[in-house]
Amino acid sequence: DAGITQSPRHKVTETGTPVTLRCHQTENHRYMYWYRQDPGHGLRLIHYSYGVKDTDKGEVSDGYSVSRSKTEDFLLTLESATSSQTSVYFCAISESGGRGYEQYFGPGTRLTVT
Amino acid sequence: AQSVTQLGSHVSVSEGALVLLRCNYSSSVPPYLFWYVQYPNQGLQLLLKYTSAATLVKGINGFEAEFKKSETSFHLTKPSAHMSDAAEYFCAVSGSNAGKSTFGDGTTLTVKP
């Protein structure tokens, strides 16, 4: 199994509070991704990173920001959590940005915003 | 641009029966395609991938998929379902930028004893 951990694994927070989710990898892969998974929507890309301090937006980036100060860590921040951000969040890594490279996923973080 | 359509959000089969999960894709460039499986309360893991070598791709746990360009399809099959195959399955197509993939909405496979 790829060495990917996510923390916390479960979190309940109140509307309007900031939340930071952490993804940590031990594979030294250059590419890292944050997805959210909602019933009937599959996985949707929030943000991704192609190197330290190099990040870009995905298809559902509004209300989220990311940072990557080290190869192994990719942080996702909800600046002011809303109920629509209740979801399961997955981090993924990939060895390369080439099209034939698969992604390896972390175990997920279940976030509930009340 | 790429997109994936998985036909059937839920599929139910009996143990020992054929499994067929359907995936159709749209891609502006020759596609690279993946099937992932997600067991309850876990992340996704790769079942198999198509990267333009062979059109029939074999994966883990007895699954295989056939790339059909004329039908823009990449259906997943397994000859004989096992109870342990119960999971959610996702088809994905790889884009041309930064390894980003576009995922289908998923198909939940139920296996009845």
CA–CA dist A48, B96 (Å, integer): 14
Per-residue pLDDT tens digits for A55-108: 999 999 999 999 999 999 999 999 999 999 999 999 999 988 777 788 999 999
Q: Are A99 and B27 in contact (CB under 8 A)?
A: no
Per-residue pLDDT tens digits for B11-66: 999 999 999 999 999 988 888 999 999 999 899 999 999 988 789 999 999 999 99
Of A33, A42, A48, which is closest to B90 when you measure between CB atoms? A42
Give the helix ranges, DSSP H, for chain B: none
For residue A89, the chain B residues in CB contact (below 8 A) are none
CB-based contacts of A35: which residues, under 8 Å, 6+ apart?
A: A43, A44, A45, A46, A58, A89, A90, A91, A92
Is A56 an interface residue toward B (CB < 8 Å)? yes
**Pairing mode, strands B19-27 and B2-7:** antiparallel
CA–CA dist B105, B113 (Å, integer): 26
